[in-house]
Amino acid sequence: MRFKKLNRKTFLVSLLCLLGITVFSLSYIIINISFNENDNPENINQAQQTITPLQEKNYDQALEANATNKAVNSKKGTQPPQAIATSSNSSIANYDFSSWNSYCGPTLIVVNKNNKIADDFNLSLSKVGDKEVSTLIKSNLENMFNDAKQDGVNLFVSSGYRSINTQKILFDRKVSEFLKKTNSKAEAETLAATHVARPYTSEHNTGLAVDLNKISNDFCKTKAYDWLIKNGAKYGFILRYNRDKTDITHVIYEPWHFRYVGPKTAKTMYEKNMCLEEYVASLIS
Ligand SMILES: [Zn+2]
């Protein structure tokens, strides 16, 4: 009888232990699965496998600050952009970058004559001096200004972020100027668009572009301009509308307009003398 009692006790204790172990194991498995789905880098890598290895390599070079965005888009099933013929300037100039723009993340977005900023473009603004710019560029812009000052160069923002409405006012003003020279509204608009971007097609609508110091062609003769050309890329800024790229950008030479693309990308673009359209085209060719 005593033996039987002892045996029952042992059986109950063993059963409880077994139950405990089972509960513990199940909890471990559940916690591990949810961790894998959310955070495990291997899981994110798997989601990126829709891209071919070559594109993966190129995209990684470009998307320095946008890896998470890329992973999220890949998970959502956003397709990488279609290949583009980089040999032809006109095919780059007229390329539809909308697929790229939805894929690449904010700092490499291409906004130009043929590529409008999306209505749902996510923008957070911060002030540099008394001008608004994208929060993404604030610290690099301020660092650049501070370091320039150390070299005796004074830099400041003349024009930063512009709302679509402000862009419309500027564009209409330019159209009125050209209407004094031509009777054709369409022609006046076409001419105006080479000087002021139409609403939704200006980089200023993204907050990623800044006009620095004097908005004038003479700015290219200044010490500040030389400093920017030499040093801007270190802080992620490139001269956006160079004089030898107007057939691609459809914008006149603007020595004052600088665009943030991130230091790594800016360095490559500077070294290879590529405008943004050419650079992105080289990634997706
Ligand atoms: Zn500008």
Provide the CATH topology of domain 53-162+202-284: Muramoyl-pentapeptide Carboxypeptidase; domain 2 (3.30.1380)
Q: Are 234 and 264 in contact (CB under 8 A)?
A: no
Mean pLDDT on 30-54: 30
Catalytic residue ranges: 254
Q: What is the Å distance from ligand 1's center to 159 Cα?
A: 7
Q: What is the Å distance from ligand 1's center to 71 Cα?
A: 31
pLDDT of residue 17: 56
Does pTM top 0.75 for this prediction?
Answer: no
pLDDT in tens, 140-184: 999 999 999 999 999 999 999 999 999 999 999 999 999 999 989
pLDDT of residue 204: 94
Task: List the beta bridge partners of residue 258.
Answer: 210, 239
pLDDT in tens, 48-107: 222 232 333 344 444 444 444 454 455 455 556 766 666 678 888 888 898 899 888 889
Q: What is the Å distance from ligand 1's center to 70 Cα?
A: 28
* Residue keyed to tokens 């045996």: 7
Domain ranges for the chain: 2-39, 53-162+202-284
The set of residues, in sequence order, having a beta carbon less than 8 Å from that of 19 and lying 6+ positions away, is none
pLDDT in tens, 227-283: 999 999 999 999 999 999 999 998 889 999 999 999 999 999 999 999 999 999 988
pLDDT of residue 85: 63
Neighbours of ion ligand 1 (CB under 5 A): 211, 257
What is the rounded CA–CA span in Å between residue 144 and residue 132? 16
Q: Reply yes or no on whether the pLDDT at 4 is more than 60.
A: no
DSSP class per residue in 231-268: HGGGGTEEESS-GGGHHHH-S---TTEEEE--HHHHHH
